[in-house]
Protein backbone atom coordinates (compact mmCIF):
# COMPACT_ATOMS: atom_id res chain seq x y z
CA UNK A 1 0.00 0.00 0.00
CA UNK A 2 1.08 3.53 -0.66
CA UNK A 3 1.95 5.57 2.41
CA UNK A 4 1.41 9.30 2.59
CA UNK A 5 4.58 11.26 3.31
CA UNK A 6 3.97 13.78 6.06
CA UNK A 7 6.31 16.39 7.49
CA UNK A 8 8.54 15.31 10.37
CA UNK A 9 7.04 15.45 13.84
CA UNK A 10 3.57 14.29 12.79
CA UNK A 11 3.96 10.52 13.25
CA UNK A 12 0.60 10.09 14.98
CA UNK A 13 -1.18 12.12 12.32
CA UNK A 14 0.50 10.10 9.58
CA UNK A 15 -0.55 6.81 11.18
CA UNK A 16 -4.14 8.05 11.59
CA UNK A 17 -4.25 9.18 7.99
CA UNK A 18 -2.86 5.88 6.70
CA UNK A 19 -5.37 3.95 8.85
CA UNK A 20 -8.22 6.06 7.45
CA UNK A 21 -7.01 5.49 3.88
CA UNK A 22 -6.81 1.73 4.49
CA UNK A 23 -10.35 1.72 5.90
CA UNK A 24 -11.60 3.68 2.91
CA UNK A 25 -9.94 1.25 0.50
CA UNK A 26 -11.56 -1.64 2.36
CA UNK A 27 -14.99 -0.04 2.09
CA UNK A 28 -14.46 0.64 -1.61
CA UNK A 29 -13.41 -2.98 -2.27
CA UNK A 30 -16.46 -4.26 -0.37
CA UNK A 31 -18.65 -2.02 -2.55
CA UNK A 32 -17.08 -3.43 -5.73
CA UNK A 33 -17.67 -7.01 -4.58
CA UNK A 34 -21.30 -6.24 -3.69
CA UNK A 35 -21.87 -4.67 -7.11
CA UNK A 36 -20.61 -7.85 -8.85
CA UNK A 37 -23.11 -10.06 -6.99
CA UNK A 38 -26.78 -10.05 -8.00
CA UNK A 39 -29.11 -8.42 -5.51
CA UNK A 40 -30.79 -10.84 -3.16
CA UNK A 41 -34.47 -11.36 -3.82
CA UNK A 42 -36.47 -11.16 -0.60
CA UNK A 43 -38.27 -14.31 0.49
CA UNK A 44 -42.03 -13.94 0.50
CA UNK A 45 -44.25 -16.64 1.92
CA UNK A 46 -45.98 -18.71 -0.73
CA UNK A 47 -49.67 -19.36 -0.26
CA UNK A 48 -52.88 -17.40 -0.16
CA UNK A 49 -52.42 -13.89 -1.52
CA UNK A 50 -54.28 -10.85 -0.31
CA UNK A 51 -54.13 -9.44 -3.84
CA UNK A 52 -57.25 -9.81 -5.97
CA UNK A 53 -57.39 -12.47 -8.66
CA UNK A 54 -57.11 -10.74 -12.03
CA UNK A 55 -57.74 -13.81 -14.16
CA UNK A 56 -60.94 -13.46 -16.11
CA UNK A 57 -63.31 -16.07 -17.36
CA UNK A 58 -65.35 -15.47 -20.50
CA UNK A 59 -68.55 -14.76 -18.53
CA UNK A 60 -67.18 -12.11 -16.19
CA UNK A 61 -65.00 -10.32 -18.77
CA UNK A 62 -67.60 -7.65 -19.56
CA UNK A 63 -68.21 -6.86 -15.89
CA UNK A 64 -64.48 -6.60 -15.22
CA UNK A 65 -63.99 -4.40 -18.28
CA UNK A 66 -66.75 -2.07 -17.11
CA UNK A 67 -65.26 -1.92 -13.59
CA UNK A 68 -61.76 -1.28 -14.96
CA UNK A 69 -62.93 1.44 -17.31
CA UNK A 70 -64.67 3.14 -14.38
CA UNK A 71 -61.30 3.54 -12.68
CA UNK A 72 -59.70 4.82 -15.86
CA UNK A 73 -62.57 7.19 -16.60
CA UNK A 74 -61.95 8.93 -13.26
CA UNK A 75 -58.37 9.95 -14.13
CA UNK A 76 -58.13 13.72 -14.74
CA UNK A 77 -56.56 14.97 -17.97
CA UNK A 78 -55.43 18.43 -19.08
CA UNK A 79 -57.54 19.67 -22.01
CA UNK A 80 -56.44 22.77 -23.92
CA UNK A 81 -58.05 24.51 -26.87
CA UNK A 82 -55.34 26.07 -29.02
CA UNK A 83 -56.48 29.09 -31.04
CA UNK A 84 -53.09 29.51 -32.67
CA UNK A 85 -49.47 30.29 -31.97
CA UNK A 86 -46.72 32.68 -32.96
CA UNK A 87 -42.97 33.02 -32.63
CA UNK A 88 -41.28 36.15 -31.37
CA UNK A 89 -37.94 37.20 -29.98
CA UNK A 90 -37.51 37.77 -26.26
CA UNK A 91 -37.09 41.49 -26.90
CA UNK A 92 -40.49 41.60 -28.64
CA UNK A 93 -42.07 39.64 -25.81
CA UNK A 94 -40.60 41.98 -23.20
CA UNK A 95 -41.87 45.04 -25.06
CA UNK A 96 -45.53 43.90 -24.96
CA UNK A 97 -47.76 46.19 -22.93
CA UNK A 98 -51.42 46.27 -21.97
CA UNK A 99 -53.52 46.66 -25.11
CA UNK A 100 -50.90 45.12 -27.44
CA UNK A 101 -52.17 42.73 -30.11
CA UNK A 102 -50.31 39.50 -30.84
CA UNK A 103 -50.98 38.06 -34.32
CA UNK A 104 -51.52 34.30 -34.41
CA UNK A 105 -50.81 31.88 -37.24
CA UNK A 106 -54.53 31.12 -37.81
CA UNK A 107 -57.32 33.16 -39.35
CA UNK A 108 -60.82 33.77 -38.00
CA UNK A 109 -63.03 30.80 -38.85
CA UNK A 110 -60.20 28.27 -39.10
CA UNK A 111 -60.51 25.22 -36.85
CA UNK A 112 -58.86 25.24 -33.44
CA UNK A 113 -56.91 22.30 -31.99
CA UNK A 114 -58.13 20.23 -29.06
CA UNK A 115 -55.05 19.07 -27.14
CA UNK A 116 -55.23 16.50 -24.33
CA UNK A 117 -52.15 16.03 -22.14
CA UNK A 118 -49.99 17.64 -24.83
CA UNK A 119 -51.35 15.53 -27.71
CA UNK A 120 -53.61 16.90 -30.45
CA UNK A 121 -56.71 14.69 -30.60
CA UNK A 122 -59.29 16.77 -32.49
CA UNK A 123 -60.17 19.98 -34.27
CA UNK A 124 -63.24 22.08 -33.84
CA UNK A 125 -65.07 25.36 -34.26
CA UNK A 126 -65.51 27.94 -31.54
CA UNK A 127 -69.15 28.36 -30.59
CA UNK A 128 -71.19 30.17 -27.95
CA UNK A 129 -72.87 27.91 -25.41
CA UNK A 130 -76.66 27.93 -25.73
CA UNK A 131 -77.08 27.39 -22.00
CA UNK A 132 -74.74 30.27 -21.12
CA UNK A 133 -74.13 32.86 -23.87
CA UNK A 134 -71.32 34.41 -21.84
CA UNK A 135 -69.16 31.31 -22.37
CA UNK A 136 -67.42 29.72 -25.34
CA UNK A 137 -67.45 26.07 -26.32
CA UNK A 138 -65.96 23.92 -29.06
CA UNK A 139 -67.99 21.96 -31.62
CA UNK A 140 -65.79 19.06 -32.74
CA UNK A 141 -65.45 18.83 -36.50
CA UNK A 142 -62.65 16.26 -36.79
CA UNK A 143 -61.28 13.52 -34.56
CA UNK A 144 -57.61 12.91 -35.32
CA UNK A 145 -56.55 9.26 -35.57
CA UNK A 146 -53.52 8.02 -33.64
CA UNK A 147 -51.39 7.88 -36.78
CA UNK A 148 -52.10 11.56 -37.61
CA UNK A 149 -51.83 12.96 -34.06
CA UNK A 150 -48.74 15.05 -33.35
- Whether 25 and 82 map to the same domain: the answer is no
Which bin fits 118, alpha (ψ -120 to 50), beta or left (φ > 0)? left
**pLDDT above 70 for 142:** yes
- Whether 132 and 77 map to the same domain: the answer is yes
53 domain residue, yes or no: no
CATH code of 139's domain: 2.30.330.10
42 domain residue, yes or no: no
6 domain residue, yes or no: yes
Task: Name the nearest CA neighbour of 71 among 52, 99, 45.
Answer: 52
Could you give the number of structural domains in the chain? 2
Q: pLDDT tens digits, residue range 61-99?
A: 566 566 667 788 889 999 999 999 999 999 999 999 999
- Percent of the chain whose pLDDT exceeds 70: 55
59 domain residue, yes or no: no
150 domain residue, yes or no: no
68 domain residue, yes or no: no
Task: Give pLDDT, residue 33.
Answer: 53
45 domain residue, yes or no: no
103 domain residue, yes or no: yes
Task: Give pLDDT, residue 71.
Answer: 83
Greatest mean pLDDT among 17-21, 44-48, 52-56, 118-122 lies in 118-122
**pLDDT above 70 for 104:** yes
**pLDDT above 70 for 45:** no
Is this prediction's pTM over 0.75?
no
Q: Given the DSSP bridges, would you call strands 79-82 and 136-143 parallel, antiparallel or unpaired? A: unpaired
Taking residue 113's Cβ as centre, other Cβ atoms within 10 Å add up to 20
Which runs of E-coded beta strand occur in the chain? Answer: 79-82, 112-116, 119-128, 136-143
- Which structural domain, as residue segments, surrounds residue 33? 1-37
Amino acid sequence: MNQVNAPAGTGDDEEDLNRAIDELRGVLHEGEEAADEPAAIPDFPVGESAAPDFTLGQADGDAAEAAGSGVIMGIPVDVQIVLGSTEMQVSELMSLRKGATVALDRRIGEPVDVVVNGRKIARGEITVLESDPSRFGIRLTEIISNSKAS
